[in-house]
Amino acid sequence: MININRQCRVFVIHSSQPLATRLFIEANKMEMMAKGYVWITTDTVMNLVHSFNASIISSMQGVMGVKSYFPQTGARFQDFSARFRSRFRSEHLTEENSEPGIFAVQAYDAVWAISHAMEGRIKVNDTKNAKEHLLQRILHSDFDGLISKVCFIKWKLAPTHTFQIVNVIGKSYRELGFWTEGEGFSASTGHGDTHTISMKILGKVFWPGDPWSVPRGWALPTTTNRLKIGVPARPAFNQFVNVKHDNVGGNLSITGFAIDVFEATVERLPYYLPYKFIPYDGTVDSLVEQIHLKAFDAVVGDIAIIAKRCQHAEFSHPYTEPGLMMVVTVQLKTSNERWLFMKPFTKSMWALTVAINIYNGFVIWVIERNHCSELKGSLMNQLGVMLCLSFTTLFSLHGERLHSNLSRMAMVVWLFVALVITQSYTASLTSMLTVQRLEPTVTDVEFLRNSNAIVGCSERSYVAKYLEEVLNFHPNNIKKFNSSEDYPQALKTGEIAAVFMGAPYANLFIAKYCKDFAIVGPTYKIGGFGFVST
């Protein structure tokens, strides 16, 4: 019989009807038809479910299965069904269900297949040859049966493409829907019906032990070894993995972002996964290699996905942003330039402002020169007055000096534009004079390489190899650090000109030291952090 202590609680039954009914009776005695179990049967069992007695049905509560579907319409089938029920009731007085099943329909069609094959005279003298000839005629049958066309393919009856999904509940069963090969599930059959790959269209299922909640199909094992999960004992940043030992109680506490992601993932699994974290004091490459050596079943932590490590184990999909970034110090740039007052606007903006001023002065001069004697005179005098009007209107309305309503309208529109320009200029200049401007001391890797500058990285990561083999830094110009806490002091004192770290590390570092450091240059495409397993 089945081992009740096993973790799996899903059983698929594909057997004869007598064996299946005996199995369900025994399973019910062993309390294996309770909450958490899933029983699924094939058509070999469910095709006869309508004929099961009450004791068998009571032991199959919550069982789900499939049965061959056949349409119960058509004049021929209705006539056959009426005659079948009448004959069945007269011979089996105690049976309640007298509806013909799929086997009754197939038996009826089988008799017709033999009848069609025997039509005409079989001209053979040998009995053996007569049997072979009759068999060949049967296999070549092609006629309309009670529910569908009867024909044979490779010595077998053409398979059924549609099955009915049923669920045992109460004293009988209920019909949930249908499954059609190549199309999926549907609530009904016929043209225009909606098919989907999801069983949600069938509605709720009555499961063993608990009416409507979907069982997980797994249970807590009674005897199962826990997975050994290796974690880095000394990670680059404690925010990802933090290993703490309690010297008093001897307890081990392992927390961090990577641990939280792993635990959240395990909680979403549809089965129980026992595990234990084991700290490993060594390099990350050595930690990943321990999986190949069977020391660990998996590794969780800030493990970057690179090609070399994939030779020893399999990586999950990255759960962090991929990439390698460069972090440098920033310095304050003071605003003591002579032409600082010109900086708020670009050259094109200055040219546009001057042009609009002159144009506005010209329009006012053209409109007002017939009304004001001051706008007349020599050419030089009129040119000077027009230029004066162009720039004085930037600061005053001169409404009392204007005689035409057209010039007043033009002046109002221009003063509105001038207000926007002056306010924007004032705000930009104020920002330049008051806000500190921080600029990085280094902007690209090429400068560091050409100047033989010293760069830093973690001694326990892949970055040193990447700097040497891909970015072509000399090994003597790469300084390795044991802890990320040493980065800020080394950058400030000039011990190193830049530090290279993975994108998650860099973003975390900048979030903590945003006033003194910045991320510059391109992001080099390297895999993010992932979980490792065999």
Question: Is the pTM here over 0.75, yes or no?
Answer: no
The DSSP bridge pattern shows strands 252-255 and 242-245 to be antiparallel
- Could you tell me the pLDDT band of residue 399, with boundaries at 50, 70 and 90? very low
CA distance 458 to 461: 6
d(CA 289, CA 309): 8
- Of 258, 222, 284, 330, the residue nearest 461 (C-alpha): 284
**pLDDT per position as a tens digit, 258-273:** 999 999 998 888 777 8
442-498 per-position pLDDT tens digit: 888 888 988 899 999 988 788 888 899 899 999 999 999 988 889 999 999 989 999
Look-up: residue for tokens 């008051």? 434
CA–CA–CA angle 515, 517, 522 (5° rounding): 135
* The two three-digit tokens of residue 229, written as one number: 């999960």
Tokens of 333: 């740039």
Give the domains, in start order, of the chain with CATH numbers.
10-69+160-202 (3.40.50.2300), 76-86+98-154 (no CATH), 227-303 (no CATH), 340-434 (no CATH), 439-525 (3.40.190.10)
pLDDT digits over 101-143, tens only? 788 888 888 888 888 777 766 555 556 677 777 777 777 777 7
CA dihedral 417, 422, 424, 429 (to 10 degrees): 160
Tell me the pLDDT tens digit for each residue of 276-328: 999 998 888 889 999 989 899 999 998 888 888 888 788 998 898 888 999 99
φ, ψ for residue 224, nearest 5 deg: -145, 130
Residue 215, phi then psi, degrees to nearest 5 = -75, 155
Three-class secondary structure of residue 67 per DSSP:
strand
DSSP per residue, 115-152:
HHHTSS----SSHHHHHHHHHHHHHT-EEE-SSSEEEE
Please state, for a pLDDT cut of 70, what percent of the chain lies above it.
84
Give me 451's structure tokens: 């100047």
The order of strands in the sheet holding 149-153 is 142-144, 149-153, 156-157
Average pLDDT over the chain reads 81
Say how many C-beta atoms besides its own lie within 10 A of residue 355's C-beta.
Answer: 11
